[in-house]
Structure 1
Amino acid sequence: MTEKLFYTDPKVFEWDAEVTGAAFHDGLWHVTLDKTAFYPEGGGQPCDLGTIAGKEVIHVMKKGEEVVHIVKEKPEGTRVHCQIDKIRRLVHTQHHSGQHLLAAVCLKMYGAKTLSIHLSMNSAAIELDVPALSDEQLENIEKEVNRLILEGRRLRIFYINRAEAGRYDLDEIPEGIERLRIVEIEGVEYNACGGTHVGSTSEIGPLKILKTERVRGHVRLHFICGIRLFEDYKEKLSLLADILEKLSAAQDTVLQKIEKIKKELKGKGAKNITPFSMNTRNF
C-alpha cells in the first residue's frame, strides 16, 4: 500500500521514495512507490503532475490502495527523487476548497444544491439544482463567500466510520466506503471528500464568479480564486492596456471612444460591424 503524503503531509512537494513496482503497458510505464505526494485523479479533482527521477509524470491514478504514476520513460534506480508541480497543486487545492465554500453558501442562502463539480487549471464550476440565479443573488453569494474567506475559517480533516455519518449534516455519503474522510469548514459545513484542501479559508484567496450558463435545466456557476484569479486579473489588465493603446484612450473614456468609432463607421456606410461587448462580470 502506498503511503499517501498528499494526505499526511500535504505541503510536501519534493521527497525521496523507493520504487515498489514498474510495469510496461501500452507504451507507457506504470510506476508505484512506497510513498507519494502525487495526488491521483478523483472526486472531480485533476491529478498532480511532475517528475520521478527526472522522468515526466503524465498521469496519476488510484488502483485499490496503490497510487500508480504513468511515465513515458522508466525511472532509473530503486531509490528516486520525486517532485510535483507546486503551482498546479495549489491551484487545484484552492479551487477545491473554494468549491466547497461556494457550494455551501449557495445551499444555505438559496437552497441550491450542488449536483456536479468541475476543477481545472483555468477555472472551476459547480452545477446547481436550480434553473437560474439572479444578478442580485450572485452578488450576494460572492460577497458572503469572500466574507468567510476573509474571516479565515479553519478547515479540519478527520475520519469517521460510516455508522457515525448520521452525526454530521452530510450532503452526500459515498457508496461502498466504510471509513469516510470528512472535510469541515468551521461553522459552515461538513463534507465527505477525498481531495486536497487548504488549512484556512484565507488560503483560498479572493473568489470571483465569472459567468453562469444553463445546463440540463440547471444553472452552472463558473468561478476562479486565489492564484488563478490573480493570473486572470493580470491577463485582463494587459488586454485592457493593449486596447487603450490601440484606441488612444484612457480607461474612464474607452467606452465613449468605442461608441464614437461605431458611429463614425456607421456614418461611412460600414456593414457587418460587430459591436464591442463589455461584460463587467467577465472583465
Structure 2
Amino acid sequence: MSKKLFYQDQYIRSFTSKIKRCTEDENGRRFVVLEETAFYPTGGGQPHDTGTLNELKVYDVVEVDGEVRHYLQESIDENLECVGSINWERRFDHMQQHAGQHILSAAFEDVFSLKTTSFHLGTDICTIDLDVSNLTNEVVEEVEKLANTVILENRPIVAKWLTADEASSFPLRKQLSVEDNIRIVIIEEFDYNGCGGTHPSSTGQIGSLKILQVERQKKQVRVHFVCGNRVIQQLGEKQKVIQELTPLLNSPQPQMKEAANRILQHSKDLEKQVEQLKVRILEYEAEHFLDKMECVHSQQIIRSTFNNRPISELQQLARIISGNTNNTVVLFVNETGENLQVVCSKDKESYLDMNQLVKAILPLINGKGGGNAMFAQGGGDKTMSAEQLAEAILHLID
C-alpha cells in the first residue's frame, strides 16, 4: 500500500519519494506508484489533486486496492528520485469546500433534523442533497447563519484514526461505511463524521459559506453552496454583473428588480402589439387572395406558392381565409431550401377531406404529415418545384 502523506500533514505541498512501479492500466493509461505520496486520490466526494512529478503533469490520481496511482501523459525515468509538487490552490480549495460541507450538513441536521444524502464537490459550485421535499427561506437563512458562526469561532478540526469500538463512543452524524481503518473528522461539540478527505486544521480557514440556490431534485432538495475563496469569486462575478446592469437598467442596485420587471412587462406588451399587427397584416393579405379564387368542379380553390415563408404564418393565413369564405379550399406550398411544405385548409361547407388530400400527395415528396378533415399539413423532399406540387394537389381534386 502507498504511504499517504496527506493524512500525516494535509499542508504538505512538495515531497520526495521512490518509484515503486510504472505501468499502464486496462485502458492503456500510463501511471506511477510511489512508496509515499502527498497526492490525494479521488474519493469520498472529494476530487483528486493535481500537480507534477519530476515536473511532469499529474492529471489524475486514483486509489486501487490500497495503492495510489498517479497518471501522467509522459514517461518518467524510474531510476531517478521522484519529486512531487501539489497544486496547492486546488488542494486548499477542496479542503475549504469539504470542511464547509461538514459544517453545513451538521447545521441542517442539528437545527432541523434534515439529513444529507449526497455531496458533490464541483469545479465552481458544491451541492448537498437533503432528505426533505421542501425548504423555506427562513430555514436556509438560519442554517447559513449558524454555519458561518461556527466558521468564525475558529474551532479546531481534528482527524482521528479509531477502532469500531472507539468510534461508537462518538455521536456520529451518519453510519460508518467501513469497519476498520476508521477515520473520524471532529469539530468539537458540533460535528463528528467518518471521512477520508482533507480538511484545514480549523474552521476559520474555511473563511465563509454562502448558500447560492435551493431547488427541488425529485423528492429531495438540492442546496448549492460555496466556501472560502469561492465566496469571494462569486461575489466578484455578481458585482461585475450588477455594475454592467446599472447603466442598462438606469437604476441603482436596490431598485434593479423593479426596473427589470418594468422592462419585461413593457417587452410583453410590445410583443402582444406585434402579434396583433401581424394578424391584421395577414387579414389584409387574405383579402388579396380572394381575387385569385379558382373554381374546380363547383369547388372554390385558393392556391399559392411561397419561398422561405414561416410555416406558422402560412398556417394562420390559411385559417383566416377559410374562416372568411364559403365552400373554399386553401392550398399553400412553401419552398425552403431542399424541402417542400404543404398547408391545406377548408371551411365547413367544402366536401373535401384535407387530411386525405395531404396524405395522398406526401408520397410524391417522400414526406410526412397529417391533420384532420378541416386542416392538414406536411413536408418532404424537394423532388419537384413548388408549382408542380401545387398542380399535383389540384389534379387530385379533379
Scaled by the length of structure 1, the TM-score of the pair is 0.89
In structure 2, the partner of 1:81 is 83
- Whichever residue aligns with residue 164 of structure 1, its letter is E
What is the rounded CA distance, in whole Å, between the counterparts of 1:271 and 1:159 in structure 2? Answer: 67
Classify 1:137/1:175 alpha carbon distance in 2 versus 1 (closer, same or farther; 3 Å): closer
What is the rounded CA distance, in whole Å, between the counterparts of 1:237 and 1:119 in structure 2? Answer: 24
Tell me if 1:53 matches 2:54.
yes
Classify 1:109/1:270 alpha carbon distance in 2 versus 1 (closer, same or farther; 3 Å): same
2:31–2:71 CA contact under 8 A, matched in 1: yes
Moved more, 150-159 or 169-178: 169-178
Deviations 1:223-272 (A, max 9, x none): 101011111111111122222244454334434443454455456x2359
In structure 1, the partner of 2:68 is 67
In structure 2, the partner of 1:2 is 2
Scaled by the length of structure 2, the TM-score of the pair is 0.64
1:104–1:188 CA contact under 8 A, matched in 2: yes
Classify 1:19/1:272 alpha carbon distance in 2 versus 1 (closer, same or farther; 3 Å): farther
What is the rounded CA distance, in whole Å, between the counterparts of 2:45 and 2:229 in structure 1? Answer: 19
1:213 aligns to what SS in structure 2?
strand
2:19 aligns to what SS in structure 1?
strand
In structure 1, list runs of 5 or more residues that go unmatched.
Answer: 274-283
In structure 2, the partner of 1:112 is 114
In structure 2, the partner of 1:195 is 197
2:45 aligns to what SS in structure 1?
coil
2:43–2:197 CA contact under 8 A, matched in 1: yes
1:102 to 86, 89, 104: 104
Alignment of 1:104-183 (within 5 A): 104-183=106-185
In structure 1, the partner of 2:348 is none
2:167–2:184 CA contact under 8 A, matched in 1: no
What is the rounded CA distance, in whole Å, between the counterparts of 1:43 and 1:50 in structure 2? Answer: 20
1:270 aligns to what SS in structure 2?
helix
1:181–1:192 CA contact under 8 A, matched in 2: yes
In structure 2, the partner of 1:225 is 227
What is the rounded CA distance, in whole Å, between the counterparts of 1:271 and 1:236 in structure 2? Answer: 32
Q: Which has the higher contact order (CA 8 A, sep 6+)?
A: 1
Shift >6 Å, 4+ stretches: none
Deviations 1:145-180 (A, max 9, x none): 111111111111111111222211123343443121
Deviations 1:188-217 (A, max 9, x none): 021111000111111111101111122231
- Whichever residue aligns with residue 56 of structure 2, its letter is K
Classify 1:196/1:272 alpha carbon distance in 2 versus 1 (closer, same or farther; 3 Å): farther
Alignment of 1:193-272 (within 5 A): 193-262=195-264, 264-265=266-267, 269-270=270-271
What is the rounded CA distance, in whole Å, between the counterparts of 1:252 and 1:258 in structure 2? Answer: 12
- Whichever residue aligns with residue 44 of structure 1, its letter is G
In structure 1, the partner of 2:28 is 27
In structure 2, the partner of 1:15 is 15
- Aligned-CA RMSD value: 2.1
1:28–1:73 CA contact under 8 A, matched in 2: no
**Identity across the alignment (%):** 36
In structure 1, the partner of 2:285 is none
1:39 aligns to what SS in structure 2?
coil
What is the rounded CA distance, in whole Å, between the counterparts of 1:128 and 1:104 in structure 2? Answer: 11
